[in-house]
Structure 1
Amino acid sequence: MKDNASFNILPRSFYSLPTLQLAKELLGCLLINETQEGVTSGYIVETEAYMGPEDRAAHSFNNRRTKRTEIMYAEAGRVYTYVMHTHCLVNVVSGPPGKPEAILLRAIEPRDGVDLMMNRRPKTGKDLTNGPGKMTKAMGITMGEYGGFFHKGPLYIAAGYQPESISTGPRIGIGNSGEARHYPYRFWIEGNGYVSR
């Protein structure tokens, strides 16, 4: 990263935490995207964990292995992007190699490059980045990031701040996943206005 001095990029070892713990530790971290248009960043305020072959809501449920999900079987700390409807969503691959788990980044509180974010997504206030598709569009995150490492960029995760209080609840938008829709695998910074709901 050209401006690396101003960001404390988290090392690859950070991602070796168990998935549910990592999903909480990511809260307050800084997501940074370096593009030709400029650098944007924001604090991660909401995450959702997907626990692999046993989790009916996970793309890798039942060890489903496709071209899309292949990166989930790689080492932790890789970038898993996929398109849902028209939105590109971004996940952190977690779990050891061969155990396909991932954490969806659902929302950020913008920090750097807010004007650039608003050019890409002409919204104001929390509506700019308070959802997984809104956030990626504002930050210019695309399928081109698929398979990269968050410690190598151009999409990075850096140290941010320690949230005072974290809330836990069921995930959103997975109604057809049986009992898995009730699992308390969504985490968010309590009271933050950029949380999706």
Structure 2
Amino acid sequence: MQKYFETAPTMDLAQDMLGHTFTYQSDQDTFSGIIVETEAYLGPDDMASHSYNGRHTPANDPLYQVGGTIYIYSIHSWLDMDISIQKAGTPNGILIRALQPLEGIATMEKNRNRTGFETTNGPAKWMSAFGIKNKDLSGTMLNEGNFSFSSKKVQVPQEILATPRIGVKNKEPWTSKNMRFIVKGNPYVSKLPKRDMNLDTYGWL
């Protein structure tokens, strides 16, 4: 399964990950959700990447490890998670931006003090819903510890939309590149207007 994250271009994997499940086994509960939104980050050339210009620190070292390594980092006191993509030494990453909950929903809602779509419709929101409060598991491997990624899709998107990434400001041409991928109409996609939500199929075939 780890080879999945090393066998295709990062942009392609960011789209293919939509519809797979992401699961976290914690002492609190088993949490899982379907990935509905991702962003690709293309390493040293990408001005929005944490490894831009070859930046390599103890904190972002997971990006430099084999594909499928967990990278947890803080943004404005919130925690986000990337999955390292490509072989060791090529620091690409894919940010998991939003999940449609499957397991542990009651605990997620308690952790977030929110219900419905607001529970996991953003990168820091789903992390909080899953009860992840620190970076202790950064550097661990998918499918070898607390986190797992399904080998097959459990849902297939009707349509995938590509848009510019969120929060990438003043970094042209990278600000405008369509490197964010969403399941069109899925109500758990971050910042999705109500008028664009497909409440019948949630955007799945």
TM norm structure 2? 0.88
| 2:100 alignment partner, one of 96, 109, 112 | 109
Partner of 1:46: 37
Whole-Å separation in 2 of the counterparts to 1:151 and 1:25: 18
How far has the Cα of 1:89 moved from its partner?
A: 0.4
Q: Which amino acid aligns with 1:149?
A: M
Partner of 2:135: 143
Q: Which amino acid aligns with 1:157?
A: F
Partner of 1:189: 183
In structure 1, the residue corresponding to 2:178 is in which secondary structure? coil
Q: Which amino acid aligns with 1:194?
A: Y
Pairing 1:173–2:164 present: no
Partner of 2:61: 70
Asked whether the equivalents of residues 145 and 155 of structure 1 are also in contact (C-alpha less than 8 Å), the reply is no
Q: Which amino acid aligns with 1:150?
A: L
Asked whether the equivalents of residues 33 and 140 of structure 1 are also in contact (C-alpha less than 8 Å), the reply is no
| 1:157 alignment partner, one of 149, 152, 177 | 149
**Greater helix proportion:** 1
- Residue range with higher mean Cα deviation, 74-83 or 147-156: 147-156
How far has the Cα of 1:178 moved from its partner?
A: 2.7
Q: Could you list the runs of 5+ residues in structure 1 that have no partner in the other structure? A: 1-10
Partner of 1:127: 118
TM norm structure 1? 0.92
1:55-92 deviation line (CA, Å, top 9, x unaligned) = 00001000011111111111111001101112110111
More RCO (CA 8 Å, sep 6+): 1
Q: Could you list the runs of 5+ residues in structure 2 that have no partner in the other structure? A: 192-205
In structure 2, the residue corresponding to 1:181 is in which secondary structure? coil
Q: CA RMSD in A?
A: 1.0
Q: Which amino acid aligns with 2:138?
A: Y
Whole-Å separation in 1 of the counterparts to 2:34 and 2:145: 17
In structure 2, the residue corresponding to 1:177 is in which secondary structure? coil
